[in-house]
């Protein structure tokens, strides 16, 4: 007895269309998320650049102020030295004037290098090579 058998298979992709549509929607959502993240990165960079510019300007003003303070205290120190040499100023007051000048010079140096650093940060954001 030979039995013959024929088998026929038919696959109807009813749910396959839903899977493709879901994958397309997920991909579109992924693209939108990437766009939002890119925009957020641009905004963060812009904010960083604006903050760097404000910091550089503030450091510049601080340096200008420190220079003026050193100039003024240098004159005060010279006058104090003349008064001290003429016996019109005691040693303590003379040392206070001298220490004030030294403190101002120290502040000026710190302000100078803070300004240079802030300026270099701004140069970096502008794509300029970093050199001293």
- Residue 129's pLDDT is 87
- Residue 5's pLDDT is 66
130 lies in a domain?
no
Does the pTM exceed 0.75? no
- Residue 13's pLDDT is 62
Residue with structure tokens 């990165």? 41
Using one digit for the tens of pLDDT, what is the confidence trace for 10-32? Answer: 666 666 667 778 888 999 999 99
The residues, any chain, with a CB within 8 Å of residue 21's CB and separated by 6 or more, are none
- Which structural domain range is residue 77 located in? 16-125
Compute the average pLDDT of residues 70-91. Answer: 96
- Residue 2's pLDDT is 62
Report d(CA 5, CA 128) in Å as an integer. 80
- Residue 23's pLDDT is 87
At 88, is the secondary structure helix, strand, or coil?
Answer: coil
11 lies in a domain?
no
DSSP state of 125: H
21 lies in a domain?
yes
101 lies in a domain?
yes
96 lies in a domain?
yes
Token pair recorded at residue 95:
């040392």
2 lies in a domain?
no
Domain tally, the chain: 1
């Amino acid at each position: 007895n030979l039995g013959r058998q024929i088998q026929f298979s038919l696959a109807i992709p009813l749910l396959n269309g839903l899977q493709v549509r879901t994958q397309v929607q997920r991909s579109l959502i992924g693209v939108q998320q990437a766009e939002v993240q890119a925009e957020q990165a641009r905004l963060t960079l812009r904010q960083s650049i604006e903050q760097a510019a404000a910091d550089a300007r503030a450091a510049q003003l601080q340096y200008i102020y420190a220079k003026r303070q050193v100039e003024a205290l240098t004159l005060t120190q010279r006058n104090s030295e003349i008064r001290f040499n003429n016996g019109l100023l005691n040693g303590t007051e003379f040392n206070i004037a001298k220490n004030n000048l030294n403190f101002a010079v120290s502040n000026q140096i710190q302000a100078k290098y803070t300004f240079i650093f802030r300026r270099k940060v701004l140069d970096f954001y502008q794509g300029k090579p970093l050199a001293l």
